[in-house]
Amino acid sequence: MSSRQSRSNFVARRGELMAELFLQEFGPAFLSRPTSADVGYDLLVGFKNKRGGINTFAVEVRATERAPGARLQLPRDQFDRLARSNIPGLLLVADVKDTRMYYGWFSRKHANASARVAIPLTEVNGVTKRELQKLFEAVEDDVAVVR
């Protein structure tokens, strides 16, 4: 294994660990990894909602060594897999160098006709973290609400 591959693997693993620790701060009912590598997401997380049920989210984690900017470009097939799923898809981007987190939602409203889809990102701070907590626990017509 080359040193470049090793560094890339370490950055990706650190991003996954940051994402897991970040999600643990919200007190999930469960946090698990898929048993297969090709399901389209890195983590599955569930939070108790206000009606006593569990809101489940598929989480795709991306790691970077610099701030990602206002949007993250994803290949169409990766976007479609979560945007067309029956559970909400959450994108977590970990800036491993500055230890910052960003999030965005896989939503059909971001889709276009090109081969790549830009997902708007929000940097996690005190305010956006509280907003995210509300979304994790929200329920409307017995379905998780994601805006």
Residue 90 has pLDDT above 80, yes or no: yes
Number of domains present in the structure of the chain: 1
Residue 41 belongs to domain with CATH number: 3.40.1350.10
Residue 78 has pLDDT above 70, yes or no: yes
Q: How far is CA 38 from CA 34, 90, 117, in A?
A: 9, 17, 20
Length of the chain: 147
- H or E element in which residue 145 lies: none
The pTM assigned to this predicted structure is 0.88
Residue 102 has pLDDT above 70, yes or no: yes
CB 56 within 8 A of CB 44: yes
Q: How many CB atoms are located within 10 Å of the residue 54 CB?
A: 14
Residue 115 has pLDDT above 90, yes or no: no
- H or E element in which residue 25 lies: none
Distance CA 117, CA 52 (A): 35
Q: Quote the domain boundaries for residue 36.
A: 3-144
Residue 83 has pLDDT above 80, yes or no: yes
What letters, b where the CB count within 10 A reaches 16 and e where it falls short, cover 13-22? ebbbebbbeb
**Is 79 or 93 the better-scoring residue by pLDDT?**
93
Distance CA 131, CA 117 (A): 24
pLDDT value, residue 81: 84
Task: Quickly state the pLDDT bin for 91 (edges 50, 70, 90).
Answer: very high
Residue 42 has pLDDT above 70, yes or no: yes
